[in-house]
């Protein structure tokens, strides 16, 4: 049996776990996972925003390759996803929670792929069997979408019978004096949502994961357990809403210098409401304790899940991954939300437990290797006994790091992590910066020493992570750092040349071609039959 | 009625037509086409080899985008093709002849797309209704494939009943004294194939085109009439085999200097049998007259087709394109075949007749605008009344050039043509040059003045087309031309950033997103309801 439990949180910072260094937030169950496996403390997502990050996780390919450049961009038919690789290896591949997948319905219709066929469902659900698909965010305009979820039916069956119980009960509180205090507004963050904790989203999803595991029987599985928290709305049930306070809020990493002549794209994000708000201590002290409470609730819930798995004897056969789709600024660098490339946004928690005996030597260790989200899919494929197709997948299996001596980085491991972000969806792109839709790309290259961010049409951003680990001093406009920037632009060029484009033919088949062609009897440019006797066609045939 | 007749030859040089400047080869019917339309004398294919060039023609996208990097590489499911765009505009889109399409069968199977469904057939046939699909080359290993063609059945029904009548009768001759002289061997080029001319491939395909047009009735159509000639085997029927002789062979464009320290990739191609052979005058004088005869036969056959179309009244409604998938070295630059980027290989004939009255002003003119194969698909879409989707298609409609004043190049027209070639399939890549499969890319950038060829892992090639229009002097290794090369590499970088990747969402939909999001009620990072009253979410909300 080889199972894979692929746990993802949404918007969870790498440093909001006790094993990730948080001084106050205790996450013993996630810490225990790290103690059983390897914690990668240099893990990066391929885009610091939900949709494209997840599409990279699920395809094992960079955004430049899969093309789903931002949220709500359908993943094109033809991009293979996790289930497409794992099902043939015998793993039932299912989903509980969020993927942010948007189906390429136009192409499915063009090809006559029925939405209710097995293939159609898999295509629409990013390769997963949708055991309980739930993207977890239901503003008024998504109310009808929310009604299709299992969580909606669960709440309705419990008597929470409004049009949008996700909002009204799980993400809103009673206002003092009556009425609803919505979780959409940060001022309301300290209030307890109307539901008891066990009825909120996180425990619900955990129970659904348990249902799946109980039901799966002897057949190997890969379960993507994808929590929406601690993504906004920031509101938690009792006691989590009150578990932390201003005294537990880690000071913001920011400096006035960052507001002096900031990079134009950075400047725009600084002006957004979430940035202006999270730059205020009052807002941080109000909202972050709730963020912490939501993380704590996840840790508690995972404790129950792991206990359940122990009881069922699943731990010895199951690879477990714990990660996030991106981080959260929470006021660092005068920003809120995500989408730029500071560590707090683009670096994520990444814990991998490999149950195999070969992994015993590295258990409980921390790896500083540069790891990317696209590494998970080849890891899963190898773990399940397959061979990752390296003409399609752009990451690398982590098994050599999991099964080697603790902390060892294999020869030839990457020295640079890459992430991409496109701000074309933002109105400021056109109205303030005057950029065309296809001129809003940014690409981060992160080595041990440097973080370089190429920005279409602008100077780059550059941080010296040795001298300035807090990334407060953007050297991208400094002429003295011109050569460093130029060398990174050159590396970006080479990286772009190396994208995996010939997805329909393997490297091995390419290498084997000439012999095959000769076997077919293709004879190009020969004067007479005598020449074919003399030698192979693409060798020098002069005597 | 708006019909499109999209004629393609295979391996036809731009200068092997009388309107293209050939001093001896008379092609009055193709010339007449040029007199009715516009001849583009700076037209470039997106790869100087059959498969990827055609995939670019049919998808309207560069090789870097569609990924079918060489012959026999399946075009990935999800890449839309000509028929996908034209059918919704009411045009029946069909094929007579060659596409070199390889179906992405693995993905079709994954998605449950039945091979015999309408969608499955279109997918397997690159978007065309396969009225008579025939890739025209049947070495011994493709004999079974050949038996599935209409031409095979035609020859068999005429009594040419061998396993491979395409070879034995259409591409082989009687040897003096008995036996078969195969068209595979250049020494045999002057011999007449066993078939009378009207039974050879070119007239057969033309008659099939006429069948299609007669049958199509009132419904608008796009017909891709795709001749295999003058691609090898180089053997023609009487009288075409004897119509030309050594006195008609234009001297080779080559210089001994090209053999002094040639670029490593160029050097490898110089050593191939076809290159060594075509570098010999004897071989050129034997084979090229046959090549000319095959072109002449095409011209005669098109004369019949155009006469048929006149008679049927089709000329006034039908856009006609005449082009080629690439050229042929024929000994120029000490090379045979194609695959590198000298003009004789990468530049192609391109004649477009727009029947609309608006095109009257430019009829009979020659345009020097830089045109690319990817321009045809948006031209067809616009001609048929549609709007080319510019988030997918990478070329530009030629209608402004066809319908503007003669010779005018619209403002903002490209100043640089791009073509790509990958030699990874060649054994020399690994055995001589020691290149990994994914390090064999080359990209040509061609402006008015320069031809620059970037080569993964090597110095570039560079030709000063003003000083050296014959491309005999590669300046790519000359330090004095370092700055020119650097500026082109920078342009290549920008070109790579601009590939059309977000194929599932239009530029307009991206630009409209923020308003849509607000309409859904998505509120990110607001302190209280009061803020949503104050302004739009991604405007500065400080007072």
CATH number of residue A144's parent domain: 3.40.720.10
Check CB contact under 8 Å for A112 and B119: yes
Q: In DSSP terms, which residues pair with B234 in a beta bridge?
A: none
* ipTM of this predicted structure: 0.94
Model confidence at A540: pLDDT above 50: no
Q: What SS3 state is found at B286?
A: helix
Q: Would B369 be classed as within a structural domain?
A: yes
Among the partner residues A425, A520, A527, nearest to B185 by beta-carbon distance: A527
Check CB contact under 8 Å for A528 and B427: no
Pairing relation of β-strands B461-464 and B450-455?
antiparallel
Q: Is B62 exposed, middle or buried (0-12, 13-18, 19+ CB in 10 A)?
A: buried
Distance (Å, whole) CA A438 – CA A487: 24
**How high is the mean pLDDT of chain A?**
95
- Model pLDDT for residues B338-382, shown as the tens digit of each residue: 999 999 999 999 999 999 999 999 999 999 999 999 999 999 999
Model confidence band, residue A523 (pLDDT cutoffs 50, 70, 90): confident
Distance from CA of B515 to the nearest CA of A (A): 9
Q: What SS3 state is found at A4?
A: strand
- Picking from B420, B439, B459, the residue at the C-terminal end of a domain is B420
Phi then psi for residue A279, to 5 deg, are: -75, -10
| Mutation site for A-interface testing, chosen from B111, B232, B455 by largest number of A Cβ within 10 Å | B111
- Model pLDDT for residues A431-480, shown as the tens digit of each residue: 999 999 999 999 999 999 999 999 999 999 999 999 999 999 999 999 99
Q: Would B529 be classed as within a structural domain?
A: yes
Check CB contact under 8 Å for A78 and B78: yes
Q: Would B395 be classed as within a structural domain?
A: yes
Q: Would A470 be classed as within a structural domain?
A: no
Structure token digits, residue B323: 């082009």
Among the partner residues B73, B232, B425, nearest to A524 by beta-carbon distance: B232
Model confidence at A541: pLDDT above 60: no
Among the partner residues A184, A437, A541, nearest to B523 by beta-carbon distance: A184
Check CB contact under 8 Å for B276 and A542: yes
Percent of chain B with pLDDT over 90: 93
- Model pLDDT for residues B131-162, shown as the tens digit of each residue: 999 999 999 999 999 999 999 999 999 999 99
Model confidence band, residue B534 (pLDDT cutoffs 50, 70, 90): very low
Model confidence at B536: pLDDT above 90: no
Both B116 and B235 in one domain: the answer is yes
DSSP alpha helices (H): ranges in A183-280? 201-216, 264-270, 273-278
Check CB contact under 8 Å for A271 and B540: yes
Q: Would A241 be classed as within a structural domain?
A: yes
Q: What is the mean pLDDT of residues A508-527?
A: 84
- Picking from A420, A446, A478, the residue at the C-terminal end of a domain is A420
Q: How many domains does chain A have?
A: 2
The pLDDT assigned to A532 comes to 57
The pLDDT assigned to A280 comes to 96
The pLDDT assigned to B520 comes to 83
Residue-number span of the structural domain to which A408 is assigned: 3-420
Displacement of CA A182 from its chain's centroid (Å): 28
- Model pLDDT for residues B396-418, shown as the tens digit of each residue: 999 999 998 998 999 999 999 99
Contact between residue A128 and residue A255 where contact means Cβ atoms under 8 Å apart: no
Q: Which residue of A has its CA nearest to B518?
A: A141
The pLDDT assigned to B518 comes to 75
| Mutation site for A-interface testing, chosen from B47, B497, B512 by largest number of A Cβ within 10 Å | B497
Distance (Å, whole) CA B436 – CA B457: 10
Among the partner residues A64, A113, A519, nearest to B111 by beta-carbon distance: A113
Check CB contact under 8 Å for A496 and B496: yes
Both A92 and A205 in one domain: the answer is yes
- Model pLDDT for residues A378-431, shown as the tens digit of each residue: 999 999 999 999 999 999 999 999 998 998 999 999 999 999 999 999 999 999
Among the partner residues A123, A336, A529, nearest to B185 by beta-carbon distance: A529
Distance (Å, whole) CA A297 – CA A317: 26
Check CB contact under 8 Å for B525 and A493: no
Contact between residue B504 and residue A77 where contact means Cβ atoms under 8 Å apart: no
Percent of chain A with pLDDT over 90: 93
Check CB contact under 8 Å for A68 and B117: no
Distance from CA of B491 to the nearest CA of A (A): 11
Model confidence at B98: pLDDT above 70: yes
The pLDDT assigned to B418 comes to 98
Q: Which residue of A has its CA nearest to B431?
A: A539
Q: Which residue of B has its CA nearest to A513?
A: B425
Both B396 and B510 in one domain: the answer is no
Check CB contact under 8 Å for B274 and A425: no
- Picking from A388, A420, A452, the residue at the C-terminal end of a domain is A420
| Closest residue by Cα to residue B149 from B95, B193, B83 | B95
Check CB contact under 8 Å for A78 and B73: no
Distance (Å, whole) CA B418 – CA B454: 11
Q: In DSSP terms, which residues pair with B299 in a beta bridge?
A: none
Q: Is A307 exposed, middle or buried (0-12, 13-18, 19+ CB in 10 A)?
A: exposed
Distance (Å, whole) CA B484 – CA B479: 10
- Model pLDDT for residues B477-516, shown as the tens digit of each residue: 999 999 999 999 999 999 999 999 999 999 999 999 877 7
- Taking CB atoms and an 8 Å cutoff, what residues of chain A touch B430? 511
Side-chain-side CA neighbours of residue B426 (13 Å): 22
Model confidence at B541: pLDDT above 50: no
Distance (Å, whole) CA B461 – CA B475: 7
Q: Would B321 be classed as within a structural domain?
A: yes
Q: Which string of DSSP letters, residue by residue, matches A80-149?
A: --HHHHHGGGT-EEEEEE-------HHHHHHTT--TTSHHHHHHHTTT-EEEEE------GGGHHHHTTS
- Model pLDDT for residues A287-328, shown as the tens digit of each residue: 999 999 999 999 999 999 999 999 999 999 999 999 999 999
Check CB contact under 8 Å for A184 and B106: no
Q: Would B452 be classed as within a structural domain?
A: no
Q: Is A251 exposed, middle or buried (0-12, 13-18, 19+ CB in 10 A)?
A: exposed
Q: Which residue of B has its CA nearest to A489?
A: B493
Q: Which residue of B has its CA nearest to A189?
A: B527
Model confidence band, residue B266 (pLDDT cutoffs 50, 70, 90): very high
Both A416 and A511 in one domain: the answer is no
Q: Would A455 be classed as within a structural domain?
A: no
Both A410 and A529 in one domain: the answer is no
Phi then psi for residue A450, to 5 deg, are: -125, 150
Show the 3-state SS of B197-249.
HHHCHHHHHHHHHHHHHHHHCCCCEEEEEECCCCCCCCCECCCHHHCCCHHHC
Contacts 24+ apart (CB under 8 A), A397-403: A398/A38, A398/A40, A398/A352, A398/A371, A399/A354, A401/A38, A401/A40, A401/A362, A401/A367, A401/A369, A401/A371, A402/A37, A402/A38, A402/A352, A402/A354, A402/A359, A402/A362, A403/A354, A403/A356, A403/A358, A403/A359, A403/A361, A403/A362
Show the 3-state SS of A315-330.
CCCEEEEEEECCCCCC
The pLDDT assigned to B446 comes to 98
């Amino acid at each position: 049996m080889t199972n894979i439990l692929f746990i993802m949180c949404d918007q969870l910072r790498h440093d909001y776990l006790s094993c990730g260094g948080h001084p106050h937030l205790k996450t013993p169950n996630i810490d225990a996972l790290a103690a059983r496996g390897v914690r990668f403390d240099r893990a990066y997502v391929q885009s610091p925003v939900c949709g494209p990050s997840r599409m990279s996780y699920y395809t094992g390919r960079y955004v430049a390759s899969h093309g789903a450049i931002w949220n709500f961009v359908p993943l094109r038919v033809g991009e293979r996803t996790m289930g497409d690789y794992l099902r043939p290896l015998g793993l039932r591949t299912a989903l509980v929670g969020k993927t942010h997948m948007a189906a390429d319905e136009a192409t499915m219709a063009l090809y006559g792929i029925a939405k209710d066929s097995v293939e159609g469902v898999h295509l629409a659900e990013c390769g997963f069997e949708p055991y309980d698909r739930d993207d977890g965010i239901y503003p008024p305009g998504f109310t009808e979408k929310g009604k299709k979820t299992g969580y909606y039916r669960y709440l309705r069956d419990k008597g929470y019978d409004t049009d949008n119980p996700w909002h009204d009960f799980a993400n809103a509180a009673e206002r003092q004096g009556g009425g609803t205090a919505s979780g959409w507004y940060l001022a309301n963050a300290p209030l307890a949502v109307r539901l008891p904790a066990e009825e909120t989203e996180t425990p619900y999803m955990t129970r659904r994961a348990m249902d799946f595991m109980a039901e799966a029987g002897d057949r190997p599985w890969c379960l993507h357990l994808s929590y929406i928290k601690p993504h906004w709305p920031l509101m938690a049930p009792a006691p989590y809403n009150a578990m932390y306070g201003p005294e537990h809020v880690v000071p913001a990493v920011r400096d006035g210098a960052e507001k002096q002549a900031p990079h134009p794209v950075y400047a725009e994000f600084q002006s957004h409401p979430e940035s202006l708000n999270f730059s205020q201590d009052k807002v941080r002290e109000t909202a972050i304790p709730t963020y912490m409470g939501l993380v704590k609730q996840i840790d508690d819930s995972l404790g129950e899940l792991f206990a359940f798995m122990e009881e069922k004897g699943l731990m010895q056969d199951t690879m477990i991954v714990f990660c996030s789709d991106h981080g959260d600024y929470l006021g660092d660098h005068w920003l809120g939300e995500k989408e730029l490339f500071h560590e707090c946004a683009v670096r994520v928690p990444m814990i991998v437990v490999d149950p195999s005996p070969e992994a015993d030597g590295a258990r409980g260790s921390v790896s500083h290797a540069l790891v990317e989200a696209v590494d998970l899919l080849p890891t899963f494929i190898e773990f399940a006994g397959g061979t990752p197709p390296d003409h399609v997948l752009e990451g690398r299996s982590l098994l050599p790091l999991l099964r080697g001596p603790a902390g060892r980085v294999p020869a030839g491991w990457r020295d640079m992590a890459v992430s991409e972000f496109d701000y074309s969806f933002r109105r400021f792109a056109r109205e303030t910066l005057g950029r065309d839709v296809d001129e809003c790309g940014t690409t981060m290259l992160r080595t041990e020493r440097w973080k370089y961010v190429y920005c279409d049409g602008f100077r780059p951003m550059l941080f010296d992570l040795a001298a300035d680990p807090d990334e407060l001093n953007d050297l991208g406009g400094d002429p003295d750092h011109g050569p460093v920037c130029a060398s990174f632009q050159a590396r970006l060029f080479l990286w772009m040349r190396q994208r995996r484009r010939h997805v329909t033919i393997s490297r091995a088949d390419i290498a084997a071609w000439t012999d095959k062609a000769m076997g077919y009897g293709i004879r190009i440019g020969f004067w007479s039959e005598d020449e074919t006797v003399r030698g192979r066609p693409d060798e020098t045939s002069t005597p």
